[in-house]
Amino acid sequence: MSAAVQRINLGPVAIGGDALCVIAGPCLLESEELGLQVGRALRDACAELGFGYVFKASFDKANRTSIHSYRGLGLEAGLTGLARVKAALGVPVLTDFHESDQAAPVAEVVDILQIPAFLARQTDLLAAAARTGRAVNVKKGQFMAPWDMAQVVTKLRDSGCDQILLTERGVSFGYNTLVVDFRSLPQMRAFGHPVCYDVTHSLQQPSGQGSQSGATREFAPHLARAAVAVGVDALFLEVHPDPPQAKSDAAAQLTIKDAIALLRQIAQLRQALHE
């Protein structure tokens, strides 16, 4: 890995230190029980492998392809569920938000506020997240070059935030296709903040199934290994016990078994890289 970056400290978990951090959970917090099932399995696997772990789930998906698609539990019920999962698992929590006035209540529960890729340039949203005092993860927009994220970093810093994570999730290539330029990882890390690779979202085929997105999740191990070989501080995965039945990102999410198998591969790869 290249030069040191501004470490994000989340109690026992650090992003930007020597250990890889895994940010993972179901796309949507469909229920508290689902969150606990997925989160407990991933927490225990990460502890065994020496990875930090942050639980991820959304309370609302405001950018669903179809107006008829399920969006989630909503702000109040969703934050209540995330708070209970956080308390039960004893791990930091990340969730995304879509409106500036959601930042403060979300920050009362979670440790990292996430700016969705479609909203990565929204100044008011970035400033609202920064003012909460929480760490902020920004997913690079599918329409943005890595160097465009320099302005995102400046907006956050000038609004009072230095606990910044930048996430690569692929770039639009023609219609319904994303590709990953792994040069973006060291390019964004050069801004002085840790970088994350979003494995499952970069496999999406946006709106590829008409009323919902498709995905090529069979390539998850290949691209995850590539990102780790290039160098990342964190990996982002969406995981569900039964992906075909998931209410969001059914085509992209990994099973718990496959996610843990992938993390074991990553641990072996990291060991080989550091020998």
- Mention every residue, 6+ apart, whose C-beta is less than 8 A from residue 35: 25, 26, 29, 55, 57, 81, 82, 85
Q: CA-to-CA distance for 124 and 137, rounded, in angstroms?
A: 15
Q: CA-to-CA distance for 102 and 96, rounded, in angstroms?
A: 10
Crossing angle of helices 220-230/256-274, nearest 10°? 30
Tell whether the model's pLDDT for residue 210 goes beyond 90: no
pLDDT of residue 67: 82
Complete domains list, the chain, with CATH: 8-274 (3.20.20.70)
Note the pLDDT tens digit of each residue in 94-152.
Answer: 999 999 999 999 999 999 999 999 999 999 999 999 999 999 999 999 999 999 999 99
Q: Which range has the worst mean pLDDT, 64-73, 225-234, 243-252, 257-266?
A: 64-73
The angle formed by the CA atoms of residues 229, 221 and 29, to the nearest 5 degrees, is 115
Q: CA-to-CA distance for 217 and 236, rounded, in angstroms?
A: 14
Q: CA-to-CA distance for 241 and 203, rounded, in angstroms?
A: 19
Tell whether the model's pLDDT for residue 205 goes beyond 80: no
Model confidence at 36, in pLDDT bands (50, 70, 90)? Answer: very high
Instruction: Report pTM.
Output: 0.94
Q: Which range has the worst mean pLDDT, 81-85, 116-120, 207-211?
A: 207-211
